[in-house]
Structure 1
Amino acid sequence: MSLIAVAATIIVALLLARPAGLYIARAFDYEASRLDRWFGPLEKPLYAIGGIRKEQQTWKQYAMALLLSNTAMIALVYLIFRIQGSLPLNPAGVPSMEPTLAFNTAVSFMANTDLQHYSGESGLSYLSQMLGIVFLLFVSPATGIAGAMALIRALTGKPLGNFFVDLIRAVTRILLPLSFIAALIFVILKVPQTLQGSAMVQTLEGAAQEIMRGPVASFLSIKQLGNNGGGFFGVNSAHPFENPGGISNALQILLMLLVPMSLPFTYGKMVGNKKQGRVLFVSMLVLFLVMLSISLTSERAGNPVVNALGIDHSQGSMEGKEVRLGTVQSSFYSVVTTASETGAVNTMHDTLTPLGGLVPMANMMLNTVFGGSGVGLMNVLMYAMIAVFLSGLMVGRTPEFLGKKLEGKEMKLIAVTLIVSPLLILLPTALALYAHPGTLSNPGFHGLSQALYEYTSSAANNGSGFEGLGDATPFWNVSTAIVMYLGRFFSMITLLAVAGSLSAKQSVPETSGTFRTDTALFGAVFIGAALIVGALTFFPAVALGPIAEFLTLKP
């Protein structure tokens, strides 16, 4: 039955992807449409308050507006965290955050990472949750979606648009209405939504127990829809208040997949080649299904050492998993949350089998198995350009992508983007293993995986973690914050630069020798480029971590 539920959830996600993608394309069309009549009354006051005019921006203006506005929001939310102990809506009396933790948390949620080095229910006041965290849960994915829209427009030779207009449209036309509906459904499913303090109850043994609650449903809906992750409670969606049962679990998975799965169809519609969008979608779907099959097989088989001892493992590896959800749904969730770069968890990834833990890590290292809101598609298009460039070299032709020649300037920017990601992951991992080994709960191969996973999650803006790591220290707070910031914004800026360079070029007529990017052959080349260029970069580190652990667990 669990596998049937997984298949049904995937089918529903597939059915929703295309119509959602076409809607997003209409939502970001600057031509007048019926959507303006619906959302105009909400958007016009926001434009007026912000002094926003709809003039087109160059790629430099777009990138600067994106970077400066996001940095300013980090500073604002950092201030809220630092003084939350003196602010209202704090019934639990939560103290103000320590400086490095406040810095880490503000960067984390603005970078769409939501890595939490604090305990969700006791680290933030209600005001910080709503005014700081939920605010960032909207503007962070909206920033990623806006960047993707600018990149797509530039690839077609159109002006990039206006960042602030795209940011507001992403919030008002996509994230706000859908998250409102999802929040209502979560309330119906018994997820709490209240501003009252903790509830005091009497246990069956007669003892008093304090049960934390709060505005959970509204937090939960946007954290999943915006591929944010994080959790109102410390154990995230493993908590029964955040994830009461199978229906809420399936809804969370659908919300995580909705935007990333729909954006390839948005891309196909906006570039005028729907078949090309479908090719990219199918390619990512193939990678997703391969990752899912590996994870399900590993987790259902369980620990080989435990099996060798003759212990019943018929339900798979249940360590660190919720009994009410089971092995299959926990494994499915771990793949979805890292494929979509969301970072929410309904099981502790530190307790996954070695190969079960490798899959989430690989999803984040590739960052092209759908990926997060907007940024995932930007990475996919980067690998698509790499595939076109390599194919052009093999046949001796100047590579062309959407009628624009890919030349030295664009490929240098892409090469720099490719190099930065492993540097942000591998160098800090080596430093942490050398200088702070005491923060790892396991001195062996699994300990290396803990540190590697933490920085991979930070650089890929995912936010999930191997929770055996003692990460609530100044070193981990500051180092992961730097990695999250650079991992988020460096690639966005360089890819916008690529977009600006291509948009300024004249279109080249298609000939019989042009390598078409809307065929199954291109899909295969795209997958090969992602695996060879992306995965092999990290293979030595992975071989010393989860692969070595898997080999040593053999009975």
Structure 2
Amino acid sequence: MTAQGWTLILVFTVLIVALAKPMGMWLFALYEGRRTPFHAVLGPVERGFYKLAGIDPNAEQNWRRYALHMLLFQLAALLFTYAILRLQGVLPMNPRGLAGIGADGAMNTAISFTTNTNWQWYSGEVALSNLSQMVGLTIHNFLSAATGIAIAFAMFRGFARRQTSGIGNFWADMTRVTLYLLLPLCLVYAIFLIASGVPQTFASLVDATTLEGVKQHIVVGPVASQEAIKMLGTNGGGFFNANSAHPFENPTALTNLVQMLSIFSIGVGLSWCFGKAVGNPRQGWAILGAMMVLFLAGVSIVYWQEAAGNPMLHQLGLPGGNMEGKEVRFGLAASALFSVITTAASCGAVNAMHDSFTALGGLVPMFNIQLGEIVVGGVGAGIYGFLLFAVLAVFVAGLMVGRTPEYVGKKIESREVKLAVLAIAVLPLCILGFTALASVLPQGLAGPLNKGPHGFSEILYTFSSATGNNGSAFAGITSGTPFYNGLIGIAMWIGRFFMIVPVLAIAGSLAAKKYTPETSGSFPTTGPLWVGLLVSIILIVGGLTFLPSLALGPIADHLAMIHGQLF
């Protein structure tokens, strides 16, 4: 570990906290449906869309109607992308003449991008045409990100509104977020990336000759536009197989810093937006404080382990940190920081290969996902996932100290707690159930590259990433088989929508409640005590749920390493 490395971590933390309020103010304007500077240009586009689709943006929807419209929209988008991938061979903008994707692979990919997971069993530069990348995938990067933010807005309204059944309008939320937030930011972001050396072209190949005289065909394409929304929308799916370790996706130290900031920027803004929505910005800062505690703890562990390196290599006379699977352009600190950011959010972009991290260095990204990626989290998904734990924490606090279980003016009762537990339980049931299945069936055991605890970790990370809608992987696993494509597809769908529906049900239940003023009997939810309770509840729930599986995987792997045992 170096002073330079810790400085990078400190600078990132300061910058991302500083972004919380300005981004939150922008989001709050969209949450309220207020006019923005972009309305002069994009307002007619918004109104034209509503008129063409026959939508009244002011018509309130109850939680059931909101959920139904959201699910039908996601299903239509999924089928559209599936058709694009299957028909790729006969569609235009395919200069390399790539064939269509097989049925199981196309369905896996369509589900992946619909659910904001962006799990990629294929190499993008080898398998997909420019049309598939742009129309099939990049469009989903916008729509899935906008969906997450829309669900967060619905959840905020549940806490903020009183004695009403309406939690907003799904179509209005989606349209406003896409037009007035994601598109303008991505336009500026893509221009920055192009200026930094990221390709943006309809060409497919560039011929080059190496210093040794070897001729190569280098794939290019519309990379910058996909890269911008990939990071900002916490999607993570790369144009290239190497993802953000590829110099065409992430060419410099500056682009690396901007990519890390962009992954967290909307998530921290939503924390501030929540506090503003419920009339108490301190509530948002308290949530962000708890997120930062968990984030900095994770970064510290990963950086410490990667800098310590592998003692077995040290015994062979190879001192230093663990640089296996890392870009020398970024080094240990930037790689460790990126890995925690991308798994604390539901992003999945990587600038280093997590499978090559030390055992405990790889445990932290895996555990981040298993917690539900609520440490800032994906756009929308992080804050509404965190609020589920807030509901649980305030109820537990009421049981422990005899305080009234209230949160931001709403009494938390059995219905909300049951729904919160149901949503939180989706992840462990799916992760552990599918991991167990893949660990005993021959088709599942054929996937991992490694044996022993690390091979088990590859399987466990796969289903953690799929269910958590992250998309990163312990890349030693071979997942592009009918078995894994099918099972991972199911996990991605369950992890996204079996959590969203209970969240909307909670929003509807809370919106119908009257406001309950804070009294001396209410548990305070803005100070250090509340932050500590939140962090404790999250770690206890996560630890009790996943510690046994982690003990069989990365913890056993670490113990084997320090005792000089190889598998």
Distance 1:350 1:270 in 2: 41
**For the Cα contact (< 8 Å) 1:119–1:234, is it kept in 2?**
yes
Report % sequence identity. Answer: 45
Equivalent position of 1:377 in the other structure: 383
Equivalent position of 1:390 in the other structure: 396
**For the Cα contact (< 8 Å) 1:268–1:276, is it kept in 2?**
yes
2:169 paired residue among 162, 186, 200 = 162
Q: TM-score, normalised by structure 1?
A: 0.98
Distance 1:87 1:192 in 2: 23
**For the Cα contact (< 8 Å) 2:339–2:365, is it kept in 1?**
yes
Q: Confirm whether residue 470 of structure 1 aligns to residue 478 of structure 2.
A: yes
Q: Confirm whether residue 419 of structure 1 aligns to residue 425 of structure 2.
A: yes
1:68 paired residue among 64, 68, 72 = 72
Per-residue CA distance 1:191-229 (angstroms, 9 max, x = gap)? 010001201122222222110000111010000000000
1:33-432 mapped onto 2 (5 Å cutoff): 36-37=39-40, 39-54=42-57, 55-157=59-161, 159-313=166-320, 316-366=321-371, 367-432=373-438
2:440 paired residue among 434, 442, 454 = 434
Per-residue CA distance 1:271-297 (angstroms, 9 max, x = gap)? 101011100101100100000000000
Range with bigger deviation, 194-203 or 288-297: 194-203
**For residue 48 of structure 1, what is the amino acid of its counterpart?**
K
Distance 1:202 1:32 in 2: 53
**For the Cα contact (< 8 Å) 1:365–1:535, is it kept in 2?**
no
Distance 2:462 2:430 in 1: 11
Distance 1:240 1:444 in 2: 34
Per-residue CA distance 1:7-33 (angstroms, 9 max, x = gap)? 223322222121111111012213566
**For the Cα contact (< 8 Å) 1:227–1:372, is it kept in 2?**
yes
Distance 2:421 2:260 in 1: 33
Distance 2:127 2:53 in 1: 32
**For the Cα contact (< 8 Å) 1:203–1:209, is it kept in 2?**
yes
- RMSD between aligned alpha carbons? 1.3
SS at match of 2:368: helix
Contiguous gaps of at least 5 residues in structure 2: none
Per-residue CA distance 1:253-284 (angstroms, 9 max, x = gap)? 11111111111101011110101110010110
Shift of 1:165: 0.5
Distance 1:87 1:35 in 2: 34
Q: Confirm whether residue 515 of structure 1 aligns to residue 520 of structure 2.
A: no
Shift of 1:534: 2.5
Distance 2:316 2:258 in 1: 38
Q: Confirm whether residue 27 of structure 1 aligns to residue 30 of structure 2.
A: yes
Distance 1:33 1:173 in 2: 7
**For the Cα contact (< 8 Å) 1:243–1:249, is it kept in 2?**
yes
Range with bigger deviation, 53-62 or 323-332: 323-332
Q: TM-score, normalised by structure 2?
A: 0.96
Per-residue CA distance 1:399-452 (angstroms, 9 max, x = gap)? 112222211111111121222210110011011111121211111000010000
Aligned residues: 553
**For the Cα contact (< 8 Å) 1:21–1:263, is it kept in 2?**
yes
Per-residue CA distance 1:163-196 (angstroms, 9 max, x = gap)? 0100011111111100110000000000010001
Distance 1:129 1:165 in 2: 27
SS at match of 1:553: helix
Distance 1:423 1:509 in 2: 37
**For the Cα contact (< 8 Å) 1:120–1:232, is it kept in 2?**
yes
SS at match of 1:209: strand
**For the Cα contact (< 8 Å) 1:27–1:35, is it kept in 2?**
no
Distance 1:125 1:89 in 2: 7
Q: Confirm whether residue 490 of structure 1 aligns to residue 498 of structure 2.
A: yes
Distance 2:217 2:54 in 1: 47
SS at match of 1:211: strand
SS at match of 1:200: strand
Per-residue CA distance 1:24-56 (angstroms, 9 max, x = gap)? 101221356666445412211121222221200
Distance 1:328 1:268 in 2: 32
**For residue 376 of structure 1, what is the amino acid of its counterpart?**
G
Equivalent position of 1:461 in the other structure: 469
SS at match of 2:207: strand
Distance 2:35 2:439 in 1: 55
Distance 1:113 1:284 in 2: 21
Shift of 1:3: 3.2
Distance 2:33 2:142 in 1: 21
**For residue 343 of structure 1, what is the amino acid of its counterpart?**
G
SS at match of 2:247: coil
SS at match of 2:216: strand
Distance 1:36 1:183 in 2: 21
SS at match of 2:32: coil
**For the Cα contact (< 8 Å) 1:348–1:467, is it kept in 2?**
yes
**For residue 252 of structure 2, what is the amino acid of its counterpart?**
G
Equivalent position of 2:454 in the other structure: 446
SS at match of 1:204: coil
**For the Cα contact (< 8 Å) 1:265–1:274, is it kept in 2?**
yes
Distance 1:531 1:363 in 2: 10
Distance 1:118 1:323 in 2: 25
Distance 2:282 2:91 in 1: 53
**For the Cα contact (< 8 Å) 2:264–2:377, is it kept in 1?**
no
**For the Cα contact (< 8 Å) 2:204–2:221, is it kept in 1?**
yes
**For residue 495 of structure 2, what is the amino acid of its counterpart?**
G
Distance 2:259 2:279 in 1: 32
Equivalent position of 1:530 in the other structure: 538
Distance 1:88 1:337 in 2: 34
Shift of 1:511: 1.5
SS at match of 2:95: coil
**For residue 474 of structure 2, what is the amino acid of its counterpart?**
F
